[in-house]
A = this chain, B = another copy of it.
Protein backbone atom coordinates (compact mmCIF):
# COMPACT_ATOMS: atom_id res chain seq x y z
CA UNK A 1 0.00 0.00 0.00
CA UNK A 2 2.28 2.74 -1.30
CA UNK A 3 1.77 6.38 -0.48
CA UNK A 4 2.20 8.23 -3.74
CA UNK A 5 -0.22 7.46 -6.51
CA UNK A 6 -0.11 9.19 -9.89
CA UNK A 7 -3.04 10.71 -11.73
CA UNK A 8 -2.83 8.04 -14.37
CA UNK A 9 -3.13 5.35 -11.73
CA UNK A 10 -6.12 7.10 -10.22
CA UNK A 11 -7.79 7.04 -13.61
CA UNK A 12 -7.25 3.29 -13.90
CA UNK A 13 -8.59 2.20 -10.51
CA UNK A 14 -12.26 2.76 -11.44
CA UNK A 15 -11.64 0.78 -14.62
CA UNK A 16 -10.26 -2.13 -12.61
CA UNK A 17 -13.24 -1.91 -10.32
CA UNK A 18 -15.74 -2.03 -13.16
CA UNK A 19 -13.99 -5.09 -14.56
CA UNK A 20 -13.74 -6.85 -11.20
CA UNK A 21 -17.41 -6.26 -10.47
CA UNK A 22 -18.28 -7.75 -13.85
CA UNK A 23 -16.47 -11.02 -13.04
CA UNK A 24 -17.32 -11.09 -9.34
CA UNK A 25 -20.33 -13.37 -9.54
CA UNK A 26 -18.81 -15.87 -11.93
CA UNK A 27 -17.73 -18.44 -9.35
CA UNK A 28 -14.18 -17.20 -9.62
CA UNK A 29 -12.19 -16.56 -6.48
CA UNK A 30 -8.83 -15.26 -7.70
CA UNK A 31 -7.82 -12.76 -10.33
CA UNK A 32 -4.28 -12.19 -11.60
CA UNK A 33 -2.51 -9.17 -13.03
CA UNK A 34 -2.05 -10.81 -16.46
CA UNK A 35 -5.77 -11.57 -16.56
CA UNK A 36 -6.72 -7.97 -15.85
CA UNK A 37 -4.11 -6.62 -18.23
CA UNK A 38 -5.45 -8.83 -21.00
CA UNK A 39 -9.07 -7.85 -20.39
CA UNK A 40 -8.37 -4.12 -20.29
CA UNK A 41 -5.63 -3.99 -22.89
CA UNK A 42 -2.98 -2.77 -20.44
CA UNK A 43 0.62 -3.67 -19.72
CA UNK A 44 1.05 -6.45 -17.14
CA UNK A 45 3.74 -4.68 -15.12
CA UNK A 46 1.60 -1.60 -14.95
CA UNK A 47 -1.36 -3.52 -13.59
CA UNK A 48 0.86 -5.23 -11.02
CA UNK A 49 2.17 -1.92 -9.75
CA UNK A 50 -1.32 -0.46 -9.62
CA UNK A 51 -2.65 -3.37 -7.60
CA UNK A 52 0.28 -3.12 -5.22
CA UNK A 53 -0.58 0.52 -4.65
CA UNK A 54 -4.08 -0.17 -3.36
CA UNK A 55 -3.82 -3.67 -1.96
CA UNK A 56 -3.17 -4.37 1.69
CA UNK A 57 -2.00 -7.93 1.20
CA UNK A 58 0.56 -9.39 -1.12
CA UNK A 59 -0.63 -11.33 -4.10
CA UNK A 60 -0.17 -15.08 -4.18
CA UNK A 61 2.22 -16.46 -6.78
CA UNK A 62 0.42 -18.63 -9.29
CA UNK A 63 -3.02 -17.40 -8.17
CA UNK A 64 -3.13 -13.64 -7.89
CA UNK A 65 -5.47 -11.82 -5.53
CA UNK A 66 -8.90 -12.63 -4.15
CA UNK A 67 -11.45 -10.78 -6.26
CA UNK A 68 -13.65 -9.76 -3.35
CA UNK A 69 -10.73 -8.45 -1.33
CA UNK A 70 -9.36 -6.49 -4.27
CA UNK A 71 -12.79 -4.96 -4.85
CA UNK A 72 -12.95 -3.88 -1.23
CA UNK A 73 -9.42 -2.49 -1.35
CA UNK A 74 -10.13 -0.37 -4.42
CA UNK A 75 -13.47 0.83 -3.11
CA UNK A 76 -11.94 1.84 0.15
CA UNK A 77 -8.96 3.50 -1.54
CA UNK A 78 -11.29 5.55 -3.75
CA UNK A 79 -13.48 6.43 -0.78
CA UNK A 80 -16.57 4.73 -2.18
CA UNK A 81 -17.35 3.46 1.28
CA UNK A 82 -17.75 6.96 2.68
CA UNK A 83 -19.54 9.09 0.05
CA UNK A 84 -19.04 12.86 -0.10
CA UNK A 85 -21.96 15.28 -0.19
CA UNK A 86 -21.97 17.46 -3.27
CA UNK A 87 -24.07 20.25 -4.73
CA UNK A 88 -25.05 20.86 -8.34
CA UNK A 89 -24.49 24.45 -9.43
CA UNK A 90 -26.52 25.20 -12.53
CA UNK A 91 -29.52 22.95 -13.15
CA UNK A 92 -29.65 23.13 -16.93
CA UNK A 93 -29.80 20.05 -19.13
CA UNK A 94 -26.55 18.60 -17.81
CA UNK A 95 -27.15 19.56 -14.17
CA UNK A 96 -30.57 17.95 -14.37
CA UNK A 97 -29.10 14.79 -15.87
CA UNK A 98 -26.62 14.58 -13.01
CA UNK A 99 -29.32 15.04 -10.38
CA UNK A 100 -31.14 12.12 -11.93
CA UNK A 101 -28.08 9.92 -12.50
CA UNK A 102 -28.16 6.93 -10.18
CA UNK A 103 -24.56 5.97 -10.86
CA UNK A 104 -23.01 8.72 -8.77
CA UNK A 105 -23.97 6.89 -5.59
CA UNK A 106 -21.65 4.03 -6.52
CA UNK A 107 -18.77 6.46 -7.20
CA UNK A 108 -18.87 7.83 -3.67
CA UNK A 109 -20.80 10.97 -4.62
CA UNK A 110 -23.98 12.00 -2.86
CA UNK A 111 -25.73 14.89 -4.58
CA UNK A 112 -27.87 16.56 -1.95
CA UNK A 113 -29.15 19.76 -3.55
CA UNK A 114 -29.09 21.85 -6.72
CA UNK A 115 -28.90 25.62 -7.28
CA UNK A 116 -29.99 27.78 -10.18
CA UNK A 117 -30.66 31.44 -10.88
CA UNK A 118 -33.76 30.79 -12.97
CA UNK A 119 -37.11 31.08 -11.10
CA UNK A 120 -38.53 28.59 -13.58
CA UNK A 121 -36.02 26.07 -12.34
CA UNK A 122 -35.66 26.52 -8.59
CA UNK A 123 -38.42 25.67 -6.13
CA UNK A 124 -38.94 22.24 -7.66
CA UNK A 125 -37.48 18.85 -6.76
CA UNK A 126 -35.56 16.51 -9.02
CA UNK A 127 -35.14 12.89 -8.02
CA UNK A 128 -36.10 13.84 -4.48
CA UNK A 129 -33.43 16.55 -4.27
CA UNK A 130 -34.48 20.19 -3.86
CA UNK A 131 -33.39 23.04 -6.14
CA UNK A 132 -32.85 26.38 -4.47
CA UNK A 133 -32.14 29.86 -5.83
CA UNK A 134 -28.43 30.41 -6.31
CA UNK A 135 -28.74 33.51 -4.13
CA UNK A 136 -29.62 31.24 -1.19
CA UNK A 137 -26.51 29.09 -1.55
CA UNK A 138 -24.62 30.52 1.42
CA UNK A 139 -27.62 30.04 3.68
CA UNK A 140 -28.18 26.44 2.56
CA UNK A 141 -24.57 25.33 2.66
CA UNK A 142 -23.60 26.84 6.02
CA UNK A 143 -23.80 24.48 8.96
CA UNK A 144 -23.25 21.55 6.60
CA UNK A 145 -19.92 19.93 5.78
CA UNK A 146 -20.39 20.19 2.03
CA UNK A 147 -17.04 20.77 0.36
CA UNK A 148 -17.71 19.71 -3.23
CA UNK A 149 -19.55 21.52 -6.01
CA UNK A 150 -20.31 20.19 -9.47
CA UNK A 151 -20.23 23.15 -11.82
CA UNK A 152 -22.69 22.88 -14.71
CA UNK A 153 -23.52 26.52 -15.44
CA UNK A 154 -23.18 28.11 -18.90
CA UNK A 155 -19.60 28.95 -19.93
CA UNK A 156 -20.01 32.70 -19.48
CA UNK A 157 -21.18 32.35 -15.87
CA UNK A 158 -18.56 29.84 -14.77
CA UNK A 159 -16.03 32.20 -13.23
CA UNK A 160 -18.52 34.27 -11.26
CA UNK A 161 -20.26 31.15 -9.99
CA UNK A 162 -16.89 29.71 -8.97
CA UNK A 163 -16.01 32.95 -7.17
CA UNK A 164 -19.15 32.68 -5.09
CA UNK A 165 -18.50 29.00 -4.35
CA UNK A 166 -15.07 29.90 -3.03
CA UNK A 167 -16.51 32.69 -0.90
CA UNK A 168 -18.95 30.34 0.80
CA UNK A 169 -16.22 27.83 1.61
CA UNK A 170 -16.44 25.19 -1.12
CA UNK A 171 -13.05 23.45 -1.39
CA UNK A 172 -13.40 21.39 -4.57
CA UNK A 173 -14.98 22.29 -7.90
CA UNK A 174 -15.66 19.59 -10.47
CA UNK A 175 -15.81 21.79 -13.53
CA UNK A 176 -17.94 20.60 -16.46
CA UNK A 177 -17.79 23.94 -18.28
CA UNK A 178 -15.14 24.78 -20.87
CA UNK A 179 -14.04 27.76 -18.77
CA UNK A 180 -10.50 27.92 -17.37
CA UNK A 181 -11.65 28.99 -13.95
CA UNK A 182 -9.14 30.76 -11.74
CA UNK A 183 -9.06 29.84 -8.07
CA UNK A 184 -6.77 30.24 -5.06
CA UNK A 185 -4.48 27.40 -3.98
CA UNK A 186 -6.89 26.55 -1.20
CA UNK A 187 -9.36 25.19 -3.74
CA UNK A 188 -9.05 22.14 -5.96
CA UNK A 189 -10.43 22.19 -9.50
CA UNK A 190 -10.90 19.11 -11.62
CA UNK A 191 -11.77 19.88 -15.21
CA UNK A 192 -14.04 17.58 -17.19
CA UNK A 193 -13.57 19.21 -20.54
CA UNK A 194 -15.76 17.76 -23.27
CA UNK A 195 -13.90 19.66 -25.97
CA UNK A 196 -10.52 18.28 -24.83
CA UNK A 197 -11.82 14.75 -24.91
CA UNK A 198 -13.41 15.27 -28.30
CA UNK A 199 -10.19 16.74 -29.69
CA UNK A 200 -8.29 13.57 -28.75
CA UNK A 201 -11.11 11.48 -30.15
CA UNK A 202 -11.30 13.08 -33.59
CA UNK A 203 -7.51 13.22 -33.93
CA UNK A 204 -7.26 9.47 -33.31
CA UNK A 205 -10.14 8.83 -35.69
CA UNK A 206 -8.61 11.01 -38.40
CA UNK A 207 -5.29 9.17 -38.07
CA UNK A 208 -7.03 5.81 -38.38
CA UNK A 209 -9.01 6.83 -41.44
CA UNK A 210 -5.92 8.40 -43.02
CA UNK A 211 -3.96 5.19 -42.60
CA UNK A 212 -6.58 3.24 -44.55
CA UNK A 213 -6.19 5.29 -47.65
CB <8 Å contact, A202 and B14: no
Range of interface residues on A (Cβ < 8 Å): 35 or more
CB <8 Å contact, B179 and A18: yes
CB <8 Å contact, B194 and A107: yes
Interface residues in A177-213 (C-beta closer than 8 Å to B): 178-180, 186, 188, 190, 192-206, 208-209
Chain B residues positioned under 8 Å from A15 (CB to CB): 180, 193, 196
Interface residues in A12-64 (C-beta closer than 8 Å to B): 12-15, 17-19, 39-40
Chain B residues positioned under 8 Å from A14 (CB to CB): 178, 193, 195-196, 198-199
Q: CA separation between A79 and B201, bound complex, in Å?
A: 12
Q: CA separation between A33 and B70, bound complex, in Å?
A: 46
Secondary structure at the A interface, as helix, strand, loop or mixed, is helix
Q: Which of A93-101, A113-121, A128-136, A161-169 contacts B (4 or more CB under 8 A)?
A: A93-101
CB <8 Å contact, B171 and A190: no
> Assuming A148-B205, A190-B198, what are 19 further A-B pairs, CB within 8 angstroms?
A10-B196, A10-B199, A10-B203, A11-B193, A11-B200, A14-B196, A14-B198, A15-B193, A93-B98, A103-B194, A108-B202, A171-B205, A172-B201, A174-B197, A174-B198, A174-B201, A190-B197, A192-B192, A192-B194
Q: CA separation between A8 and B195, bound complex, in Å?
A: 13
Q: CA separation between A12 and B203, bound complex, in Å?
A: 13
Chain B residues positioned under 8 Å from A188 (CB to CB): 201, 204-205, 208
Q: CA separation between A10 and B204, bound complex, in Å?
A: 10
CB <8 Å contact, B202 and A18: no
Is A155 interfacial (CB 8 A cutoff)?
A: yes
Most buried by B among A109, A179, A195: A195
